[in-house]
Amino acid sequence: MLACVICGEEILLEEDMKTHLLLSHLENDMHCPLCSLSGVSYDELCFHISSAHPEKQHNSQDLAHFTSSPSCSVSTNAGVTESERPQTSQSCSVGDSCTTAAGATPSTSSGVSTDSVRPKQNSTHKRGRSSPEKLFSCPMCALVCSSCFILQEHVELHLEEQRSAEGSLLEVCSSALTSPSASCHSGEKIFECPMCSVVCSDSFSLQEHVELHLDPETVTAVSPGSDLKLARQLQQEEELRRREKDAQKEREEFKKLQRQFGLDGRGGYSKQMERIMERSVARGLMTPAEFHCKRAEMMESLVSGIDDGRTRTQGVTRALCEYYQAESRDCIHVWLSADTDHYCSSAGDKGWGCGYRNFQMLLSSLHRIDTYSPSLTEKTLPSIPRVQSMIEGAWKEGLDPQGASHFNWRLQGTRAWIGATEIYSLLTSLGIGARIIDFHRPTGPGDTHPQLFDWVKQYFCQSSRSGKLPPRLIQTSLPPLYLQHQGHSRSIVGLEQKKNGRMCLLILDPGSSMSDTRKLLSSDISTTIRHIRKFPCNLKHKQYQVVAVQGVLSAEAKQNSILNSQTLQAERIP
């Protein structure tokens, strides 16, 4: 009979004593040499090392050495002394040699088999338990522990390894950004994400992409759709930038249009006149005394509202009539409007005042025609600022509200261009009937407008409806026609019809200088008349509008014209 030197239990056989020492004392004292885990069985320790410390494993011979180590042998002498008893808590320390490879089983060289020992442990253990122990499974691996405290230490090891893995990932990503072994494609260096299949063109883009993976606040950073979400976000930002760029371009284009049409708030006739005279003084072209004298005259004209006549040329139509009576035998018919004065642009309205000057030409003719003269209360020609005021008055009467809104209901003090609708509104407010004819597209070869010429011929022919053959020169009592196209307007004062059937318009241009116009009054008119002749090949704008005066309006007819101007539409030909 053998007695255990540790607990005193009596064992019959030596092999059973070895089993008793191994199971009851040696295994219960085992602990992990790589962490603080202790108090586990041999199998539990092996499984722990293989799962928690795979990189630190030893081979199976180390574990066999542990089970067969002389320091772990058990004396069979029943009379052993206290000093000869094995110190299992010290000599059997697992920290010396008790690590094993993953999945290794203890060596049987010591004569102790795991399969033969475990049943004896259940039958011979004097500390025996009255009921089976409660087991605790690791939530992160397959290890089963008999104590919750052991399980807690084991799980903490998993968490430490996870934090270490995250640190290693950061190092890998950092090295990927600067690694010289970055992939190259077609001679260009590219950078691959170490966490997904995204390829970036430079290190900065790769760094931003990797940070999206590692950002804990980005919930979808590790999801398969994270790149798609990023792409959509970038697309939305690009769309926003494009819209802002388009809006900025639209604002700039609108400002250009405002400057072009004189709606940029930089002043009107008087301010432009002053600036030009100041530049003339600075260049030495005008003395300061002349400047103050002309400025005073301009202010006086503005106060009176009467044009000073400095840009007027009288007698142009009479000069044309005399010319056709004596010359131009190649024409079979010539029609001329009523006597009309020419008004050219001045320094105060240069670049934008053509519409106002054409109205002055038309009004100068109406004053000479008996049909219209009695209806005109003002017998003088208004200045350009006065014409602006008259158009504003027409708007206040209710004429052309859409056109008025385009100018924000204000013309005075601006350099705003006016067109056919403003001339129509102004004539209607004066009690003069008018119509707008729109030649909205070319009707002839080479973008010409032969129908415009035909219509002008019909307009002048209305004065000679008799069945007799009209004379070669016809001096009518009709006012001139206001001709508008994109960017400019002129006045039609006559029409030529050649022997070959070709027609030619006679046009006075407010852009022509006073000196050029006065050449028509000279005896050498034949060399200068070509400047006012316009054949179909000379009128090739996309669209033309004509304003024609058509009788005097009664009070009722004027009111109807005002109501119709709410939706003002031109007569379209064709």
Instruction: Give the pair of three-digit tokens for residue 457.
Output: 């011929």
32, 98, 331, 354: which is the annotated catalytic residue? 354
φ/ψ of residue 379, rounded to 5: -95, 0
Please tell me which residue in 339, 341, 349, 509 is annotated as part of the active site.
509
**516 is known as an active-site residue:** no
Only one residue has tokens 């962490």, namely 35
How confident is the model at residue 144, as a pLDDT?
78
Amino acid at 182: A
Decide which of 443 and 145 is more confident.
443
The mean pLDDT value for 141-157 works out to: 78
CA angle 253, 255, 258 (to 5 degrees): 115
Confidence of residue 231 (pLDDT cuts 50, 70, 90): confident
Contacts of 557-560 with CB under 8 Å at 24 or more apart are 557/433, 558/428, 558/431
Among 29-38, 325-334, 356-365, 394-403, the minimum mean pLDDT is found in: 29-38
**Separation of alpha carbons 563 and 428, rounded Å:** 11
Q: What percent of the chain has pLDDT over 70?
A: 73
Instruction: Give the contacts of 338 (CB within 8 A, at least 6 positions apart).
Output: 317, 365, 368, 369, 476, 477, 478, 479, 480
Rounded CA-CA distance 539/488 in Å is: 12
Q: Does the annotation count 461 as an active-site position?
A: no
Give the type of residue at 226.
Answer: S
Q: How far apart are CA 32 and CA 48, in angstroms?
A: 8
Q: Helix (H) and strand (E) counts for the chain?
A: 19, 19
| 27 pLDDT higher than 70 | no
Q: What is the pLDDT of residue 439?
A: 97
Q: Between these two residues, 55 and 416, which has the higher pLDDT value? A: 416
Predicted local distance difference test score (pLDDT) of residue 56: 54
Asked whether the beta carbons of 435 and 557 are under 8 A apart, the reply is no
Q: How many CB atoms lie within 10 A of CB 80?
A: 15
State how beta strands 432-439 and 331-336 pair. Answer: unpaired
Question: Of 231-245, 259-273, 500-514, which range is least confident?
Answer: 259-273
* CA neighbor of 568 nearest in space, from 458, 376, 404: 404
Structure-model confidence comparison of residues 468 and 194, the more confident one: 194
- Least trusted range by pLDDT, from 82-86, 140-144, 204-208, 564-568: 82-86
- pTM > 0.85: no
Check: CB of residue 397 under 8 Å from CB of residue 521.
no
The 10 Å Cβ neighbour count of residue 408 is 10
Q: Which of these ranges, 2-6, 246-250, 452-456, has the smallest mean pLDDT?
A: 2-6
Distance CA 474, CA 12 (A): 155
Determine which of 105-114, 307-316, 456-465, 523-532 has the lowest per-residue pLDDT on average.
105-114
- SS3 at position 140: coil
Mean pLDDT, range 189-202, rounded to an integer: 77
> Which whole number is the average pLDDT over 414-425?
96
Q: Across-strand partners of 482? A: 491, 547
Q: How far apart are CA 489 and CA 23, in angstroms?
A: 117
- pLDDT-derived band at 560, boundaries 50, 70, 90: very high
Counting Cα atoms < 13 Å in the Cβ hemisphere of 377 gives 5
Q: For residues 127-141, give the mean pLDDT.
A: 62
How far is the C-alpha of 69 from the C-alpha of 75, rounded, in Å?
Answer: 13
Least confident of 11-25, 293-307, 404-418: 11-25
Instruction: Tell me what the pLDDT averaged over the chain comes to.
Output: 79
Statement: 304-572 belongs to CATH 3.90.70.130: yes
* Residue type at 341 in one-letter notation: D
The pLDDT assigned to 399 comes to 97
Structure tokens at 392: 């504003």
Q: Which of 95-99, 165-169, 327-331, 372-376 has the lowest mean pLDDT?
A: 95-99
- 101 neighbors 60 (Cβ within 8 angstroms): yes
- CA-nearest of 531, 485, 528 to 508 is 531
Model pLDDT, residue 350: 93
What value does the mean pLDDT take over residues 393-416?
Answer: 94
Please work out, in degrees rounded to the nearest 5, the angle formed at the alpha carbon of residue 348 by the alpha carbons of 345 and 349: 45
Sorting pLDDT into bands at 50, 70 and 90, what band is 25?
low
Whether residue 537 has pLDDT greater than 70: yes
pLDDT at 479 over 70: yes
Asked if 448 contacts 540 with a C-beta cutoff of 8 angstroms, the reply is yes
Q: Is the pLDDT assigned to residue 353 strictly greater than 80?
A: yes
Output 363 or 166, whichever has higher pLDDT: 363
Distances (CA, A) of 282 to 108, 169, 278, 285, 288: 118, 76, 6, 8, 9
Would you call 509 a catalytic residue per the annotation? yes
Across the range 492-513, mean pLDDT stands at 96
Give the pLDDT of residue 356: 98
226 touches 195 (CB < 8 A): no
Give me the DSSP letters along 160-228.
HHHHHHHHHHHHHHHHHHH-TT--EETTEE-EE-SSSS-EESSHHHHHHHHHHHH-TT-TTTTSTTHHH
pLDDT surpassing 60 at residue 522: yes
Q: Is the pLDDT of residue 351 over 80?
A: yes
Which entry of 53, 367, 488, 541 is annotated as an active-site residue? 488
Supply the pLDDT for residue 230: 84
DSSP 5-32: TTT--EESSHHHHHHHIIIIIIGGG-B-
CB hemisphere CA count around 272 (13 angstroms): 21
Least confident of 15-29, 324-338, 347-361, 556-570: 15-29
pLDDT tens-digit readout, 34-90: 776 766 666 677 777 777 776 655 444 444 334 333 333 333 333 333 333 334 333
Residue 134 backbone zone (phi > 0: left; psi -120 to 50: alpha; other: beta): beta
Where exactly are the structural domains of the chain? 2-49, 304-572
The predicted model gives 454-481 an average pLDDT of 86
What letters, b where the CB count within 10 A reaches 16 and e where it falls short, cover 528-565?
ebeebebebeebeeeebbbbbbeebbeeeebeebbeeb
For residue 433, give both structure tokens.
């009937």
- The gap between the terminal CA atoms of the chain, to the nearest Å, is 134
